[in-house]
A and B are shown apart, each in its own frame.
Chain A
Amino acid sequence: MKPRNKIQPALFVLPAFFVYFLTVIIPILWSVGYSFFSWNGIKDMEFVGLANYVRMFSDGTFKSAVVNNLKFVLLGSSFQLLAGLFLAILLSHIIKGSNVLRVIYFIPCIISSMAICQIFSKMLSAQPQGLVCYLMEKMGMDPIALLANSKTALVTITLIDGYKYCGLYMIIFYSAFVSISKDVLEASIMDGCSLIQQYRYIKLPLIKNIFSIVVVMLINGCLKTFDVFYILDNKSKSTEMVATYMYKTAFNSADFGYGSTLAVFLVVECLAAVFVIQRLLGTAKGEESE
């Protein structure tokens, strides 16, 4: 529709624009500014130009954090996507008690990360023996501390993170399934569609749009992932993510300049990732504003 005058749309947009500008844009620009300085918070700031960026590309910890993070994005987002979808499909076939089940499936999302992490670190602990190691021993395996072992830690934390957040995507998928018109489904059953065919040819294509939204949310979330990895850190390089490394650089090492540089990298990385996904899924952002 066409606005009657120019002021009206501006009134709709400006409040959000102001809040967003003041709370998001100004601070991040400010941070980008820091990335050209060497500053530990107490000494005078010293302009170093691109030195922090040069340092970043020769920093071994940074490189391994990027690799870990990409592994996590691949593993974590596919796990959460599939788990969310699977739960949503299960749920949409339940008639009785689905209300209760929806609440139950959502529980891990509401519990604070700290509690979830504590539960898993106790369950997976080898000494004192936790539930998982107890079961491993009973099954005749050598119990391993999954979270501490640098070979298994990344995958284990990925699963824990997925467990915490998959409920969120379950809800989104579920509501999409429920919204599919019953007529279409009944018609397909009349045509002799099997359950699998129903999903393959009707349900999943119908919620294609939701998929692209969820994928963008997931990749973004995974690239910026912080809390679970920060709490369950096994100190070695194997579980370092870009966001946790940035946090430690800025706040443990008080190296605010370099920390800001890592933050800028993260922003660029996210932009690039979203751009690529949008291209792959064939829904460029611009189309939405027709």
Chain B
Amino acid sequence: MTHAGKSKAVRGIFYFIVLIIVMIQIYPIFWVICSSLKTSEEMTYTAQYALPSSFYLGNYISALTISAIPRYFLNSTIVAVLTLLGIVVLGCPVAFVISKVKIKHADALMGFFLFGMMIPIFACLIPMFQIYNALGLRNTYWALVLPQVGFGLPMCIYLYTGFFKFLPDSLLEAAVIDGAGMGTVFWKIVVPMAKNTTMTVLTYNFVFVWNEFTYANTFISSSEMKTLPIGLNDFVGQFGRVDWGSTFAAIVISILPTLIVYFILNKNIIEGMAAGAVKS
């Protein structure tokens, strides 16, 4: 994408704006890292925007000793992977049937699933607790995965149907004429073409699944099953006094791997998204 007619000045201003935004977006993580390197004395007695005076690692040590961050990280990862898989594996076929297969009541089915988007999760907390408790699912990964899959499905189906709308019917019909069944058409043609949408669905849901707090707090009580957002509460002391140093250290420990993974996958994510983003 070249813009031959642009003067250098315009280009300069453009990069200046980009730089400012980068600084704004990067500031929180910079701030968290700085704060995690401060001693508690420093936290109290210096301005919160001051840089740390030394490279103090005590917060990291206490974060890792007070709470089992690696364990929480593993739990969060397992829950995220299962949830994302569940959403895509269950949601994509439904969207396919709704938009590409001639069935009765497709509209009603779509409406039924979209209804879930309107429901605030807290509304369901008490019934859910009673159901999962009766089924013996408390303190299992399923108690976290199932509701998130259920509540993730509407948006997933919505995004997929948005894409399938633009998938030419002729393409599918041609395959059917060649003798392909519905399963083959779905797995061999539709799924690969929807790669981009899949990436959108995954990215969108990952953000929410990774930070999910309510279900984890409600359904999990064993410390071996805690997820990261719950784990951050390990540092709240008496009468609401929070050990912020350790909390920030824990946040840094929990963000970095995510950022690294995201950085590596990022190219694929965007390419995937771009390749399949709604063509019109």
Do A and B come into direct contact in the complex, CB within 8 Å? yes
Which positions in A face B, CB cutoff 8 Å?
1-4, 8-9, 12-13, 15-17, 19-20, 22-28, 30-31, 34, 87, 90, 92-95, 99-116, 118-119, 122-123, 125, 128-131, 134, 163, 167-168, 171-172, 174-176, 178-179, 185, 195, 206-210, 213, 216-217, 220, 224, 226-227, 243, 246-247, 250, 256, 259-260, 263-264, 266-267, 270-271, 274, 285-286, 288-290
Query: A12 to B258, alpha carbons, bound, how many Å?
Result: 33
Q: A112-B251, A209-B280 are in contact. List 17 more A-B contacts (CB 8 A).
A: A1-B169, A1-B176, A4-B182, A23-B128, A27-B124, A107-B259, A112-B228, A115-B28, A115-B232, A118-B247, A130-B49, A175-B196, A178-B273, A178-B274, A179-B196, A243-B120, A288-B164
Could you name 18 residue pairs across A and B whose Cβ atoms are closer than 8 Å? A2-B102, A3-B182, A4-B181, A13-B93, A16-B91, A20-B150, A25-B116, A90-B21, A128-B48, A168-B207, A175-B200, A178-B273, A195-B3, A209-B280, A246-B123, A285-B110, A288-B98, A290-B165
For A129, the chain B residues whose CB sits under 8 A away are 47
Contact with A along B89-100 (1 / 0, CB 8 A): 011011011111
Interface size on B, residues (CB 8 A): 107
Contact of B99 among A4, A246, A288 (CB under 8 A): A288
For A116, the chain B residues whose CB sits under 8 A away are 28
Asked if residues B28 and A111 are in contact (CB atoms below 8 Å), the reply is yes
Asked if residues B18 and A94 are in contact (CB atoms below 8 Å), the reply is yes
Q: Which of B46-94 contact A (CB under 8 A)?
A: 47-49, 86, 90-91, 93-94
For A99, the chain B residues whose CB sits under 8 A away are 263, 266-267
Asked if residues A246 and B120 are in contact (CB atoms below 8 Å), the reply is yes
Query: A94 to B111, alpha carbons, bound, how many Å?
Result: 40
Asked if residues A12 and B97 are in contact (CB atoms below 8 Å), the reply is yes
Contact of A246 among B113, B122, B166, B276 (CB under 8 A): B122
Asked if residues B182 and A16 are in contact (CB atoms below 8 Å), the reply is no
Q: In whole Å, how far is A223's beta carbon from the nearest beta carbon of chain B?
A: 8
For A207, the chain B residues whose CB sits under 8 A away are 278, 280
Asked if residues B155 and A217 are in contact (CB atoms below 8 Å), the reply is yes
Asked if residues A266 and B262 are in contact (CB atoms below 8 Å), the reply is no
* Interface SS of A by simple majority: helix
Asked if residues B150 and A111 are in contact (CB atoms below 8 Å), the reply is no
Query: A105 to B18, alpha carbons, bound, how many Å?
Result: 10
Contact of B153 among A16, A131, A259 (CB under 8 A): A16
Chain A CB within 10 Å, residue with most, of B123, B159, B273: B123
For B117, the chain A residues whose CB sits under 8 A away are 220, 270, 274
Asked if residues B259 and A19 are in contact (CB atoms below 8 Å), the reply is no
B26: Cβ under 8 A from any A Cβ:
yes
Which single residue of chain A is at the shortest CB-CB distance from B275? A179
For A208, the chain B residues whose CB sits under 8 A away are 280
For A274, the chain B residues whose CB sits under 8 A away are 114, 117-118
Which single residue of chain B is at the shortest CB-CB distance from A33? B127
Q: In whole Å, how far is B174's beta carbon from the nearest beta carbon of chain A?
A: 10
Asked if residues A1 and B48 are in contact (CB atoms below 8 Å), the reply is no
Contact with A along B143-158 (1 / 0, CB 8 A): 0001101110101011
Asked if residues A27 and B266 are in contact (CB atoms below 8 Å), the reply is no
